Structure 1
Amino acid sequence: MNLSIAIPAMVNNTALLSSPNASTERPPTDSQDNWKETLKEFKAVAPMYDWSPEIQGIILSSLNYGSFLAPIPSGYVAGIFGAKYLVGAGMFISSVLTLFIPLATDAGVTLLIVLRIVQGVAQVMVTTSQYSIWVKWAPPLERSQLVTIAMSGSVVGSFVILLIGGLLCQTIGWPYVFYIFGGVGCACSFLWFPLVYDDPVNHPFISTGERDYIVCSLAQQDCSADWSLPVMAMIKSLPLWGILVSYFSEFWLFHILMAYIPTYINTVLQANLRDSGILSALPFVVGSICIILGGLLADFLLSRKILRLITIRKLFTAVGVIFSSLLCVSLPWVSSSHITTMAFLVLSSAFSSLCEAGSLVNILDIAPRYVGFLRGLSQVFSLISGAISPTVTGIFLSQDSEFGWRNVFLLSAAINVSGLVFYLIFGQAEVQDWAKEQTFTQF
């Protein structure tokens, strides 16, 4: 999100075309009469670059170029050797590379793209491997809330960047977006290594009561991992395919909103850049809160034996998909009302966040032994969805400016509901037979 919010300040749209990485400086405006106009635009107190739209698209997309190769190996290695160092290393590498983005930008577009590719791989190491920690730390009755609290961090991060990043670009310059948030990431990495442990048994600060509670609650669950994987059994597993299809369909709409909410608010609602950033942040902060509340509610229903686990997973997924799809499909018909449009965007984010306590956490239920590998596999499906959906959205918008958004949301709803139907038919919450026993099928 750093580069997404900074790139409008990095690009000189008015300069004559020169070399792809040529930098310019915008002359300062000291006139009191132009003060209000200056506040409405990003101040360039740092170099600006004459990047064409095609180059900008490549730079923004480069984060995912190597990501397709990383999830499965990261999850598999984390399951074998432990996730602590893999997650910590990924966080540290990504944060350090963030600090060097301004220097890489000055050196050339090619170096910036290479840096972003490596950064994308490092970030996948973090998001994939952390599931291998939760499978050893999260008691079954508290699993939904713990995982959703952790996963809400990505939504909170998006909210903070959108809220603060534009202001930083406007006041002290776009390089400080990377310096400040890269420094925050490095600080988090330094805290991670001494405070986080792969399992409660080896944690030096945990109380005896808490350690015994976690160990006993997981005693009936086989979480051990080895080099063997039941590959053929996984391929034939319809419950697993139900989860993978859910990842693809649910992240289709998610990636569109991540990429296009600022654009939608700026073009449809005619908001300026500063207000667009603030309004774009609202769905993310509400979504992060609802992710946590959804996890708490799911665990409450399970602990009180109000609903069965599979019923909870399917109910939360159905509510999240159906209501978020309906709200998004309705957006083109309420675009004349700014308040209604923002309310629909916020509510859509709130409902879709319930899927985090539904199908998106279901892997922990059906195959805890292979959760690292399967988390990586599911992330491949979400990354594929994220690579396709913004491109399709751009095609729709370029072909039909009047009905483009309507077609985008209708297609998203169709894909989302199709994935939901598949999951409702084949989804399960019991540990699968192929995840209970040691096998000799080598991967």
Structure 2
Amino acid sequence: MARIILKKFDVIPARLNLWVMLFTSCWVAYMLRVNISLNLIAMVPQTSHNSSSTSQCGAKDDVVRNTSLQHVDIADVREVPRQVPGGASFDWTADQQALILGSYFWCYPLTSLAGGMAAERWGPRLVVFVTSLASAVLTALSPVASSWNYLALVVIRFFLGFASGFIYPALHVLVARWAPPAEKGKFVSATMGGTLGTVVTWSLTGPLIEKFGWESAFYVPAALTFVWCFFWWYLVADTPSEHPRISVKEKNYILDALGDKVKKSKGLPPFKSIVKSFPFLAMIVLHYGNLWGLYFIMTVGPKFVASVLGFELSAAGVISALPYLARLVMATIFGFIGDFILARKLMTTTVIRKFFCLFSHILPGLLLLCLIYAGCSTTLSVALITMSMGFNGAATLTNLQNHQDLAPSYAGTLYGIANCIGSTAGFFTPMITAYFTRNGNGFEQWRPVFYIGASVYVVSAVFFIFFGTGNIQDWNFAENTKENKDDKNNDLKEMNGITTRTGDAKDAKDTPLSVIS
């Protein structure tokens, strides 16, 4: 039966299969990453001695309103125990919960740094398979670890972050080796699959816990990941040349479109040139701003929705997932827009990267500023969070693609370095949130948290607009011999401008990736 199903995939061109597997790999990675944010709400009873339990926008039974004023911000809040059906009874403090949330990111930045180099040396297919399999095993062990001690769960999350750090840099190596220039935006948008993983996980975790218990919120994602690993190993290859079932026409189209701009390297990347590159520094700053906003809503978003806005657990998961669904939809739209602009030479690559920072960073930051003054207008608050994350989908045209511009031969390494630095936001945001909300969960306590997030968004975009570029750097060809210098100069001229491919354009339309376009 499994063989029959797999044979049906063989009739689909390899590029479309790869796009789907890229998308679902990010889905799986985020499913295992974000489930803990909602699980903790169920695992730790929301009792009166837990300062994170009270809601300033709670239900009518929990709030005694001041009848002389209509705004709920000044309501007197009673500390009423809130039990979650199917939940556990772990007596963990707010600081211990923050430790659990942040432990995922302790080693994640370091393995992100190594992930690109590992994929460039041993192949992204193997790297993603091994780390995803290990992540599934660790997730399945989480309930047992939780029953021992919260520190055991911290260790599990630590090693889960260690394994997961390899995945995204490896995926960007695949994009560099498989995506023709005319389809780069659509392939990069596939890395937004984590957004749908967040949406589905947060939407289903609450009902899953209430019906089958909190342990199921770990076992079900682990089981799904095991199944996904089987399909990944069968359908994915490191390069078009190594794919056993790709058509000759499709393989020739991809290889001809990429030319010799992307080379497999067994040696070390030119780190000296990379470190000295100011355009690369600008990309790192932009990437950091993006991840700060992303991780902020991912790690503490459910807590804000449940503890401040007063939604029940099942509703909190759905509401917290809406911004990620908007981000997924907008990322796809922005990916199409970028490919359309490049194909018609409406903007240079550099102008595209800088112009769309307005949507990926500046607008999301301004919307976060508006959010802190929305008060208990839950509809307005949810709309602002959703729009902020939705516009951030334009990151497919800014920080998520800029490393491919600078050095496609070392795209995984560049992304790994940027992710190493940017991912530190993953354990800073829970700590900062815990610090400001230590004595309560009112809007006054949360406002500094949103101020910081908005500032990082906007400042990073302004820095990139002044100092960033979309031009390929000469150190991308660091291993070229003297005989190839003329080719290198030609490549630089071609990639720093906008080129339109002919010849194989018809073949490209004949393959199913055109369904995506």
User: Which TM-score applies when normalising by structure 1?
Assistant: 0.88
The answer as to 2:220 corresponding to 1:180 is yes
SS in 1 for 2:85: coil
User: Contact 1:238–1:426 at 8 Å: present in 2 too?
Assistant: yes
* Alignment-derived partner of residue 141 in structure 1: 182
* Alignment-derived partner of residue 319 in structure 1: 359
* Alignment-derived partner of residue 105 in structure 1: 146
Residue deviations 1:166-202 (CA, integer Å, cap 9, x gap) = 1111111011111111111111111111110000111
**What is the CA-CA distance between 1:246 and the residue it aligns to?**
0.7
Alpha-carbon separation, structure 2, partners of 1:49 and 1:326:
38
Residue deviations 1:262-311 (CA, integer Å, cap 9, x gap) = 22223443222222222111111111111111111111111122221111
The answer as to 2:124 corresponding to 1:83 is yes
- Where structure 1 has 5 or more consecutive residues not aligned to the other structure, the ranges are 18-39
Output aligned runs, 1:29-428, within 5 Å.
41-44=83-86, 48-149=89-190, 151-398=191-438, 401-428=442-469
**What is the CA-CA distance between 1:126 and the residue it aligns to?**
1.3
User: Contact 2:240–2:254 at 8 Å: present in 1 too?
Assistant: yes
* Alignment-derived partner of residue 40 in structure 2: 7
Residue deviations 1:338-368 (CA, integer Å, cap 9, x gap) = 2222211111111111112212211011111
Alpha-carbon separation, structure 1, partners of 2:132 and 2:340:
32
Alignment CA distance shift 1:311-1:345 (3 Å): same
User: Contact 1:222–1:436 at 8 Å: present in 2 too?
Assistant: no
Alpha-carbon separation, structure 1, partners of 2:48 and 2:89:
9
User: Contact 1:5–1:161 at 8 Å: present in 2 too?
Assistant: no
User: Contact 1:268–1:335 at 8 Å: present in 2 too?
Assistant: no
**What is the CA-CA distance between 1:421 and the residue it aligns to?**
1.5
**What is the CA-CA distance between 1:12 and the residue it aligns to?**
4.2
Identity of aligned pairs, percent?
A: 28
Alignment CA distance shift 1:176-1:438 (3 Å): same
User: Contact 2:362–2:458 at 8 Å: present in 1 too?
Assistant: yes
Alignment CA distance shift 1:127-1:290 (3 Å): same
The answer as to 2:470 corresponding to 1:429 is yes
Alignment CA distance shift 1:266-1:114 (3 Å): closer
Alpha-carbon separation, structure 1, partners of 2:147 and 2:376:
43
User: Contact 1:324–1:348 at 8 Å: present in 2 too?
Assistant: yes
Alpha-carbon separation, structure 2, partners of 1:395 and 1:16:
17
Alpha-carbon separation, structure 1, partners of 2:456 and 2:251:
43
Alignment CA distance shift 1:265-1:8 (3 Å): closer
**What is the CA-CA distance between 1:334 and the residue it aligns to?**
2.3
Alignment CA distance shift 1:414-1:91 (3 Å): same
Alpha-carbon separation, structure 2, partners of 1:148 and 1:264:
28
Alpha-carbon separation, structure 2, partners of 1:293 and 1:405:
32
Alpha-carbon separation, structure 2, partners of 1:393 and 1:412:
11
For structure 1, which segment, 223-232 or 164-173, has the greater mean C-alpha deviation from structure 2 after superposition? 223-232
User: Contact 1:15–1:50 at 8 Å: present in 2 too?
Assistant: no
Note the aligned Cα RMSD (angstroms): 2.3
Alignment CA distance shift 1:345-1:12 (3 Å): closer
Residue deviations 1:201-240 (CA, integer Å, cap 9, x gap) = 1112212111111000000413332313322211111110
Count residues in correspondence: 416
